[in-house]
Amino acid sequence: TQLLEQSPQFLSIQEGENLTVYCNSSSVFSSLQWYRQEPGEGPVLLVTVVTGGEVKKLKRLTFQFGDARKDSSLHITAAQPGDTGLYLCAGASNFGNEKLTFGTGTRLTIIP
């Protein structure tokens, strides 16, 4: 069974600070996604990474896929209250029509 452990589980920081969320596994993934979920809604896809060592930027969010494709990180610069939510990483073992394994989740609260 593949497991994706996220850390920290909870994070509460002041607006304007930087933060990093980690997603770790002992398994290799062909692709890894990050989702954000707000209360009362389903998760929304933020990014997909597929190449070991890949770095993708989405405005103030920077995503990195580990060289061995077993781990990933999400870095947020100058956090804003709108970044508040549950962040989930999810991995797939193969390309095409595969179910995802979801991480344990990081609940982020940005204090104005």
Partner 1 sequence: SAVISQKPSRDICQRGTSLTIQCQVDSQVTMMFWYRQQPGQSLTLIATANQGSEATYESGFVIDKFPISRPNLTFSTLTVSNMSPEDSSIYLCSVATTVLNEQFFGPGTRLTVL
How far apart, in whole angstroms, are the C-alpha atoms of residue 112 and residue 102? 29
Secondary-structure breakdown of the chain: helix, strand, coil percentages, each rounded to the nearest 5 = 5, 50, 45
Per the listing, tokens 């580990």 go with: 66
Cβ at position 19, least distance to partner 1 in Å: 19
Q: Name residue, tokens 């890894």.
A: 32
Ranges within 42-61 binding partner 1 (CB under 8 A): 42-45, 48, 50
Among 14, 40, 59, 112, binds partner 1 (CB under 8 A): 40
2 Cα distance to chain centroid: 16
Q: How far is the CB of 22 from partner 1 (least distance, A)?
A: 15
Q: With contacts defined by CB under 8 A, name the span among 18-26, 34-42, 63-71, 75-83 that binds partner 1.
A: 34-42
Residues in contact with partner 1 by CB under 8 A are 31, 33, 40-45, 48, 50, 88, 90, 92, 95-100, 102-105, 107
